[in-house]
Structure 1
Amino acid sequence: MASIDDFRFESHQLLLELDAATMGMMQLVSSKCVSGPNWDAAIKRQHDAYERWDTFIGVPAVEASQNTPPVG
């Protein structure tokens, strides 16, 4: 079972990639390049990054609660 530090590390890595992918898309938008192979690649990168994040964060609550210390 992963520790909270493992969760935080993996979460941070996934969010960095998602942020980089989103910024890449926004740079293309600002340069008015919203079609073609570069745009298609940017969309795929952002979509894949989001899917990895969504899959990671979608851990069932019961499993996730076993990794956190009790409150109180």
Structure 2
Amino acid sequence: MSTTDDFRYKSHELLIELDAATNHMMMLVSARKVAGFEWSEAAKRQKLAYETWSAFLYAPETDPMPCLDGRASGSYGPLAD
């Protein structure tokens, strides 16, 4: 599987959770339940879903090859001392 497919799959998974958490909060607003334990749990779920999505989206890209081919990270030459 290509990295694009991996990105799309993980994005889809995270966005489904974010959408579900946001929809749950909107349902609570419609039901006038914007305080208490249920609201707090829904808000935590939505916040965690957003933070997880954001961390995935803006994760630093790493080059896996230095550890595999013996060169220093960010270089084309041999391992740095």
Query: Which range, TM-score by smaller chain?
Result: 0.7 to 0.9
Cα distance in structure 2, aligned partners of 1:31 and 1:3: 42
Deviation at 1:24, TM superposition (A): 0.2
Cα distance in structure 2, aligned partners of 1:52 and 1:59: 10
Percent identity reads 54
Q: Which has the higher contact order (CA 8 A, sep 6+)?
A: 1
List structure 1 segments (4+ residues) > 4 angstroms apart after TM superposition.
none
Deviation at 1:59, TM superposition (A): 2.6
**Rg larger for:** 2
**1:21 match:** 21
Letter in 1 for 2:24: G
Deviation at 1:37, TM superposition (A): 0.3
- Structure 2 unaligned segments of length 5 or more: list them: 63-81
Cα distance in structure 2, aligned partners of 1:59 and 1:38: 31
**1:48 match:** 48
**Number of aligned residues:** 61
**1:11 match:** 11
- Structure 1 unaligned segments of length 5 or more: list them: 65-72
Higher helix share: 1
